[in-house]
Amino acid sequence: MGYRNSALYTLKYVATMLNEDEDFLRECSIEMFSEDGCVSAYDDYPASGRNEHIVLFTEVGIENLQQIIRNLRGDANPPSKLVAERNRKKPRLLRP
């Protein structure tokens, strides 16, 4: 069985690491789920929708968050010219 990192990083930690605003990252993470590497923790009992939750990220979650940021800013890496040429559909020749 391979090594699996089980560390979780707070929103504040990730904001400092990425040199980003916490509120901006919170907005970016709203649509992320546990499968994406983003989980919520509650510090008050009983937990309810009114309680402020702590946003936590796994390493995969940080990578996904960085991709969301790139997408929002339009910095997504476009495919190289060679890949774009290869993926372009070629016109079909009509045979009489």
| pLDDT value at 87 more than 60 | no
d(CA 88, CA 21): 39
pLDDT of residue 23: 95
pLDDT of residue 22: 95
Does residue 2 sit within a domain?
A: no
| pLDDT value at 72 more than 50 | yes
CATH of the domain at 22: 1.10.10
- For residues 6-30, average pLDDT: 95
40 contacts 56 by C-beta, under 8 angstroms: yes
pLDDT of residue 77: 60
Boundaries of domain holding 81: 8-89
| pLDDT value at 88 more than 60 | no
- For residues 51-75, average pLDDT: 91
